[in-house]
A and B are shown apart, each in its own frame.
Chain A
Amino acid sequence: MRLLRELYYILLGFLQGLGACWLFLFRILRYTPGALLRWRIVWQQIYSVGAMSLVLIMVSGFFVGMVMGLQGYNTLSKFAATSALGTLVALSLLRELAPVVTALLFAGRAGTALTSEIGLMRATEQIAGMEMMAVDPVRRVVVPRFLAGAVSVPLLTMIFSAVGILGGFVIGVSFMGVDSGAFWSQMRVNVDVWDDVVGGFIKSIVFGGACSLLAVYEGYYSHPTAEGVSRATTRTVVNSALAVLVLDYLLTAFMIHGV
């Protein structure tokens, strides 16, 4: 009986969090046109959220591409089909790996920073101060950060894919001796613009929105204590990772069957 009650409260808490997050999204979207007029603030946030993650994304992308090149070569050589290495690397990066890994890295690198920054603003009563001055903190603090994250993730994903394909190319062609013409031409025949590139881009837009929303939501509603901020930061990473993986399944199922 007690267990059931515990479960009931956990479920209730989950639903409450989901609903609050959803309402928060509408609150953000209402101020979005206004924030776009003051694009300078958004621009500066894109620097700290997106441009600062660039090196991490490029290095990870390159190594993921190189691993794909090695693993793919090893497996494909069993079927004497190493000329399909380009297709394998490009399709797995564009469709799955780049959107998911970029979103996870983004949640760890930038999502946590957003949460702890906003959380500390609340803990040090800067947010309360803004409210006193009749400045809406959602409009001034939250919306630019959300927009910066939502814009940065798709761009980072595309950079991840491009660098990853180059990494696969370096390993496959330079080290393993796959023919470079076959690598690119097989890729060009089998990769579809709409299904693969645009599909991956749509995924990355959704992931970017979800990760940024969770990060600013957790920060804005964190308990104004040191412990509260640290808990909110942990929740950002955990919830972002779960949201990305669940959304990835849903989007993939929809793209394969629905379109």
Chain B
Amino acid sequence: MRQTRSIEISTGLFIILGFCALFFLATQTTNIKAYGETGGYEVTATFTNVGGLKVRAPVTMAGVDVGRVTAIRLDPRTFNALVTMRIVSKFNEIPDDSTAAILTSGLLGEQYVGLSPGGSESFLKNGSKIQFTQPAIILENLIGQFLFNKAASGGKP
């Protein structure tokens, strides 16, 4: 009887250890926090090009994480990209004339949305649209432009 008991206790320990490992993996090694943010408010912005922006990419202001991209769609009439973002409700005093730009962290890093504040007295709220946007910089276009300018100036530096 005593032996059965110790066997059962070891089994219990094993199962608890297994679930601890699952918990550790789910909370410590993943981006689970990105799913927890169901509160807050949604704003949209249209970009002429989103580059490599992905759903769940961070939305930052002065480098601080303020929200996530929740959806990226193509506007069928204007052929612009319609990006929906969810901003944490803590940051509810962002001026409604702020600028949204698609930036890249580092040379090869992930793309994210950076907000720079405007000067308006009224604030962004649920469903509002960011008017001023700046599309992602496409490296190929940049190089093309550079070469074109070079050619136009006759190859002189």
A interacts with B: yes
Question: Is A120 positioned at the interface, with any CB of B under 8 Å from its CB?
Answer: no
Question: Is B147 positioned at the interface, with any CB of A under 8 Å from its CB?
Answer: no
Question: Is B48 positioned at the interface, with any CB of A under 8 Å from its CB?
Answer: no
Question: Is B110 positioned at the interface, with any CB of A under 8 Å from its CB?
Answer: yes
Nearest residue in B to A156 (C-beta to C-beta)?
Answer: B18
Interface residues as binary, A152-176 with B (CB distance below 8 Å gives 1, 0 otherwise): 1011101101110100000000000
- Chain A residues with CB under 8 Å of B110's CB are 189
- Chain A residues with CB under 8 Å of B26's CB are 193, 197
Interface residues on A, range: 20 to 34
Question: Is A187 positioned at the interface, with any CB of B under 8 Å from its CB?
Answer: yes
Among the 9-residue stretches A9-17, A44-52, A124-132, the one with 4 or more Cβ atoms under 8 Å from chain B is A44-52
Contact indicator A90/B18 (Cβ below 8 Å): no
> A44's contact among B7, B17, B18, by CB below 8 Å, is which?
B7
Interface residues as binary, B132-148 with A (CB distance below 8 Å gives 1, 0 otherwise): 00000000000000000
> A165's contact among B18, B29, B32, by CB below 8 Å, is which?
B29
> B31's contact among A44, A158, A193, by CB below 8 Å, is which?
A193
Contact indicator B15/A155 (Cβ below 8 Å): yes
Cα(A156)–Cα(B18), bound, Å? 6
Contact indicator A155/B21 (Cβ below 8 Å): yes
Interface residues as binary, B1-41 with A (CB distance below 8 Å gives 1, 0 otherwise): 00010011011011101110110111011111001000000
- Chain A residues with CB under 8 Å of B14's CB are 46-47, 50-51, 54, 152, 155
- Chain B residues with CB under 8 Å of A188's CB are 28-31
Question: In the assembled complex, how far is the CB of residue B30 from the closest CB belonging to chain A, in whole angstroms?
Answer: 5
- Chain B residues with CB under 8 Å of A196's CB are 30
Q: List 9 A-B contacts (CB under 8 A).
A: A44-B4, A44-B8, A47-B10, A54-B17, A162-B21, A187-B29, A197-B22, A197-B25, A197-B29
Question: Which 4 pairs, one residue from A and one from B, show the smallest C-beta to C-beta distance?
Answer: A155-B18, A51-B14, A162-B21, A158-B21
Which A residues form the contact surface with B (CB < 8 A)? 40, 43-44, 46-47, 50-51, 54, 90, 94, 151-152, 154-156, 158-159, 161-163, 165, 184, 187-193, 196-197, 201
